[in-house]
């Protein structure tokens, strides 16, 4: 049963929140935090970051006129309390579920989400675009960007601040400094913000508010002005941000509504020309003891027991692909001191926390900076080190220019461990690994592999250790493996060599990646109907196993390629080869099964693959369709 709340039950939109007296806002925040904890305990999700911005969310919607005033959350997983206050309270227990609310801000979901965000560090750029549009349209609406949870460490944020400061366009940037991203902060910016915070500006809260009020006022005494200058110089926050053209205020206690409300009000009403940056200090996981004590502050959680904090765990004893990757890399690193590992603020998610325990000096967490991570790896490669850059497929997209220009053109042997390949479930389209095969296999002299199971992943890692003349990538899905017996660390694959899983007649399936198990299920059903097919685990999108493809094309009536990626990937390379060799001019039938040309919303991975027509029944149907079989297909549900 959903709990009844004294204040929150009366709040469906920010207009309802504004009816509450300012003295009661903390009670609203307390109820909002409790409701969010209860909801996420049912759905799982990004809890810690949202817990840290409860008071800020209440203050922002209380002071600003959303949705006319545009509020942009960076990164989007801070947005759960925002969703509850903006007409989505009744749907909050559908977070990250099929047909439910997205776990991030999403324009199609609500007018209160002016900009979708699921990758970090985009808020200042998008907010500046909206603010400039307002200026051109003579609109006076406010634009507020909330950047936090480590997003300030990315280069894009500084590109935006540099542009915003020079523009003299009014916008408000709230730097939510919570000492965290997904893992502990890294880099000089974290140290810089810590030094600012050590000034403890809010130890004298009344004076702080008084000074900031004076600073925003058109008229203020010389005494107040000098005091404000002194205050800002003591905390040194103005040094960096002021030099970028921002009016800097802070740091402020982000959990103190008595501070937040008047400061935000003054920023709203200010006639200051140019951007304002309000630096607030918050605690990730605030208000839930189990989150506060957790090393990652409950960044991402499964369903959990509110009373004990105990999260649901998979009953499977099969290790995840991520863990298989990490453990395999550790074994190789024990024998090869040139192996180093790089992550972009995702040591736990990529498994490199395991590597770091063994080799702390050979593990590099560069923060939320994928572009830098790739070129940094390229630099290491020039000095004969063997860098393994472990980045989710969706995040590697952010560094594509660096992959092309700094790695591929120079044929540097950077190894890309591409986690979360394919559809990923609850995180939805923003985190799906849909495009890496396409965007990497177009590059000359690049080795692109995909593991069909965890045993193949081990073989690909083994193989990658000896690819020293060019870049390579191996992709693998989220979640647990299939329970395959892992090979030795010496077992390698011949570059560009696929493997035949079973031999049949008439039709051959070339599978690239983790749809092999579904292909085998389809084959079992087809065999019962008298259809025997050849199945090949392609392993490589580049270089292709051209000899085998030629053989299959000249001995079979049809070829079907299957991959959990977009058009332009493995299947496109196969058909290009067949076309070049004139084999498409014969009676050969060809079909390519890829992800559809749509973004698939969050759901369970199984349901998403059904939507994508890449489940076993869809494969079975495709085979029968290609063969023009008279067999009536009873599609399995």
pLDDT digits 0-9 by tens, 474-498: 999 999 999 999 999 999 999 999 9
Distance from C-alpha of 76 to C-alpha of 302, rounded to nearest angstrom: 18
Q: 87 lies in a domain?
A: yes
Q: In the 8-state DSSP scheme, what is residue 301?
A: B
Task: List C-alpha distances in Å: 503 to 533, 551, 619.
Answer: 6, 13, 17
Q: What is the pLDDT of residue 272?
A: 85
What pLDDT does residue 528 have?
Answer: 94
- What is the end-to-end Cα distance of the chain in Å, rounded? 32
Whether residue 326 lies inside any domain: the answer is: yes
Tally: H helices and E strands in the chain:
26, 17
Question: For 309-347, how does the pLDDT look when each residue is reduced to its tens digit (9 = 90+)?
Answer: 888 887 788 999 999 999 999 999 999 999 999 999 899
Cβ-based burial of 42 (10 A; exposed 0-12, middle 13-18, buried ≥19):
middle
Q: How far is residue 349 from each of residues 16, 368, 479, measured CA to CA in Å?
A: 39, 13, 11
Contact predicate 46/431, CB 8 Å? no
For the chain, give the number of residues. Answer: 637
Q: Is residue 427 part of a domain?
A: yes
pTM of the full predicted structure? Answer: 0.87
Helix or strand run (H / E) with residue 542: strand 540-542
Cβ atoms 571, 594 nearer than 8 A = yes
pLDDT higher than 60, residue 152: yes
Contact between residue 533 and residue 508 where contact means Cβ atoms under 8 Å apart:
yes
The enclosing domain of 190 has a CATH number of 3.40.50.970
Q: Please indicate, yes or no, whether residues 174 and 102 belong to a single structural domain of this protein.
A: yes
Shortest CA distance to 234 belongs to which of 215, 270, 258, 208?
208
| Among 240, 274, 293, residue at a domain's last position | 293
Rounded-to-integer distance, Cα 32 and Cα 59, Å:
12
Looking at the structure, tell me whether residues 459 and 548 fall in a common domain. Answer: no
Q: Is residue 340 part of a domain?
A: yes
227: pLDDT strictly greater than 60: no
Task: Give yes or no: residues 511 and 459 share one domain.
Answer: no
Active-site positions read 284, 370, 398
Q: Which of 153-157, 211-215, 624-628 has the highest mean pLDDT?
A: 624-628
Co-location of 40 and 151 in the same domain: yes
- Which of these three, 426, 460, 475, is where a domain ends? 475
Buried b (16+ CB within 10 A) or exposed e, 102-116: bbbbbeebbebbbbb
Same domain, 182 and 133: yes
Token reading at 232: 């800002």
Cα–Cα nearest to 417, from 452, 385, 460, 379: 460
Last residue of a domain, one of 475, 491, 525: 475
The total domain count for the chain is: 3
Question: Using omega within 30 degrees of 0 as the cis cutoff, is the peptide bond preceding 221 cis?
Answer: no
Reported confidence tier of residue 142, pLDDT bands at 50, 70, 90:
very high
Q: Are strands 499-502 and 534-537 parallel, antiparallel or unpaired?
A: antiparallel
**Quick one: tokens of 486?**
């892992």
**Has residue 103 been placed in a domain?**
yes
pLDDT higher than 60, residue 637:
no
What pLDDT is recorded for position 586? 77
| Residue-wise pLDDT tens digits, 503-517 | 999 999 999 999 999
- Identify the band that residue 301 occupies on the pLDDT scale cut at 50, 70 and 90: confident
For residues 451 and 440, the answer to whether their CB atoms sit within 8 Å is no
When pLDDT is averaged across residues 176-183 and rounded to a whole number, the result is 66
The Cα–Cα gap between 36 and 427 comes to 18
Q: Domain for residue 490, yes or no?
A: no
Same domain, 395 and 518: no
Positive/negative CA dihedral, 619, 622, 623, 624: positive
More confident: 381 or 311: 381
Which of 54-58, 444-448, 633-637 bottoms out in mean pLDDT, i.e. has the lowest? 633-637
Looking at the fold, whether 235 and 94 belong to one and the same domain comes out as yes
**What's the angle, vertex CA 372, arms to CA 403 and CA 73, rounded to 5?**
105
Looking at the fold, whether 431 and 561 belong to one and the same domain comes out as: no
Measured between alpha carbons, how far is 104 from 108 in angstroms, rounded to an integer?
11
Under the banding of pLDDT at 50, 70 and 90, the label for residue 115 is: very high
Confidence of residue 236 (pLDDT cuts 50, 70, 90): very low
Describe the strand order of the beta sheet including 339-343 as a list of residue ranges: 363-365, 339-343, 386-392, 415-419, 472-475, 447-450, 540-542
What are the beta bridge partners of residue 252? 280
Closest among 479, 456, 595, 466 to 536, alpha carbons compared? 456
Per-residue model confidence (pLDDT) at position 231: 42
- d(C-alpha 38, C-alpha 54), whole Å: 14
| Domain around 615 | 500-626
My answer on whether 105 and 29 are in the same domain is yes
Residue 2 neighbours by CB distance under 10 Å: 12
Residue 454 lies in a domain: yes
Evaluate whether residue 619 is within a structural domain: yes
221 and 114 part of one domain: yes
**Same domain (yes/no): 130, 276:** yes
Share of residues in the chain with pLDDT > 90 (%): 73
Q: Using a CB cutoff of 8 Å and minimum separation of 24, what contacts does 29-33 make?
A: 29/54, 29/55, 29/58, 29/257, 30/287, 31/5, 31/6, 31/7, 32/8, 32/57, 32/58, 32/81, 32/84, 32/85, 33/81, 33/286, 33/287, 33/288
Of 53, 42, 48, nearest in space to 94 by CA: 42
Q: Over the chain, what is the mean pLDDT?
A: 88
CB count within 10 Å of CB 557 equals 15
Same structural domain, 461 and 516: no
d(C-alpha 499, C-alpha 530), whole Å: 24
pLDDT score recorded for residue 195: 53
Strand 276-281, strand 247-253: pairing: parallel
Give the helix ranges, DSSP H, for 503-604: 516-528, 546-555, 570-580
- Rounded percentage of the chain residues whose pLDDT exceeds 70: 88
pLDDT exceeds 70 at position 229? no
Each residue of 60-103: pLDDT tens digit?
Answer: 999 999 999 999 998 778 899 999 999 999 999 999 999 999 98
Q: Is the predicted pLDDT of residue 194 greater than 60, yes or no?
A: no
Q: Three-state SS for 615?
A: coil
Residue 180's pLDDT is: 55
- Of residues 17, 6, 148, 12, the one with CA closest to residue 79: 148
Omega of the bond leading into 67 within 30 degrees of 0 (cis):
yes
Q: Is the confidence at residue 629, as pLDDT, over 70?
A: no
Kindly give, in sequence order, each residue whose CB lies less than 8 Å from that of residue 191, ignoring residues fewer than 6 positions away.
none
Quick: pLDDT tens for 4-41.
Answer: 899 999 999 999 999 999 999 999 999 999 999 999 99
pLDDT of 58 higher than 60: yes
Residues ≥6 apart with Cβ < 8 Å to 373: 342, 343, 344, 366, 389, 391, 399
């Amino acid at each position: 049963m959903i709990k009844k709340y004294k204040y929150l039950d009366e709040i469906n939109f920010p207009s309802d929140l504004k009816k509450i007296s300012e003295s009661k806002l903390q009670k609203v925040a307390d109820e909002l935090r409790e409701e969010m904890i209860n909801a996420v305990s049912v759905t799982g999700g990004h809890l810690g970051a949202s817990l840290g911005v409860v008071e800020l969310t209440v203050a922002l919607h209380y002071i600003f006129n959303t949705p006319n005033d545009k509020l942009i959350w960076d990164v989007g997983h801070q947005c759960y309390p925002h969703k509850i206050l903006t007409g989505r309270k009744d749907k909050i227990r559908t977070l990250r579920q099929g047909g439910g609310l997205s776990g991030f801000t999403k324009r199609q979901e609500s007018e209160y989400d002016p900009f979708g965000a699921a990758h970090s560090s985009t808020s200042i750029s998008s907010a500046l675009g909206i603010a400039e549009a307002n200026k051109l349209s003579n609109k006076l609406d406010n634009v507020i960007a909330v950047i936090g949870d480590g997003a300030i460490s990315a280069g894009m944020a500084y590109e935006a601040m540099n542009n915003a400061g020079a523009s003299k366009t009014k916008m408000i940037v709230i730097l939510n400094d919570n000492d965290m991203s997904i893992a502990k902060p890294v880099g000089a910016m974290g140290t810089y913000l810590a030094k600012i915070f050590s000034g403890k500006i809010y130890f004298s809260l009344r004076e702080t508010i008084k000074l900031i009020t004076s600073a925003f006022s058109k008229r203020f005494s010389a005494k107040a002005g000098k005091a404000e200058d002194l205050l800002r110089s003591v905390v040194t926050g103005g040094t960096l941000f002021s030099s970028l053209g921002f009016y800097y205020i802070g740091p402020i206690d982000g959990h103190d509504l008595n501070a937040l409300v008047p400061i935000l009000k003054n920023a709203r009403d200010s006639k200051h020309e140019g951007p304002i940056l309000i630096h607030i200090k918050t605690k990730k996981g605030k208000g839930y003891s189990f989150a506060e004590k957790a090393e990652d502050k409950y960044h991402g959680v499964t369903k959990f027991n509110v009373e004990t904090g105990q999260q649901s765990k998979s009953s499977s004893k099969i290790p995840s692909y991520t863990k298989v990757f990490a453990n395999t890399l550790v074994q190789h690193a024990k024998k090869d001191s040139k192996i180093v590992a790089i992550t972009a603020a995702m040591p736990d998610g990529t498994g490199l926390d395991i590597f770091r325990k063994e080799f702390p000096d050979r593990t590099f967490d560069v923060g939320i900076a994928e572009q830098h991570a790739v070129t940094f790896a390229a630099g290491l490669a020039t000095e004969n080190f063997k860098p393994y850059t472990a980045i989710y497929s969706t995040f590697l997209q952010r560094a594509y220019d660096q992959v092309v220009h700094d790695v591929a053109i120079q044929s540097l042997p950077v190894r890309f461990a591409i986690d979360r390949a394919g559809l990923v479930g609850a995180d939805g389209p923003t985190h799906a690994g849909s495009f890496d095969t396409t965007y990497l296999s177009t590059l000359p002299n690049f080795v692109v592999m995909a593991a069909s199971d965890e045993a193949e992943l081990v073989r690909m890692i083994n193989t990658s250790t000896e690819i020293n003349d060019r870049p390579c990538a191996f992709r693998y899905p989220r979640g647990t493996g299939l329970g395959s017996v892992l090979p030795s660390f010496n077992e390698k694959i011949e570059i560009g060599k696929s493997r035949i899983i079973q031999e049949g007649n008439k039709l051959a399936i070339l599978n690239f990646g983790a749809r092999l198990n579904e292909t085998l299920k389809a084959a079992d059903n087809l065999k019962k109907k008298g259809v025997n097919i050849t199945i090949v685990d392609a392993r490589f999108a580049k270089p292709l196993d051209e000899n085998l493809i030629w053989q299959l094309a000249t001995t079979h009536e049809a070829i079907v390629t299957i991959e959990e990626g977009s058009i332009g990937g493995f299947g496109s390379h196969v058909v290009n080869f067949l076309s070049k060799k004139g084999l498409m001019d014969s009676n050969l039938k060809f079909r390519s099964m890829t992800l559809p040309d749509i973004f698939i919303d969050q759901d369970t991975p199984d349901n998403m693959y059904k939507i994508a027509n890449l489940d076993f029944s869809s494969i079975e149907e495709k085979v029968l369709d290609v063969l023009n079989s008279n067999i009536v297909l009873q599609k399995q549900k």
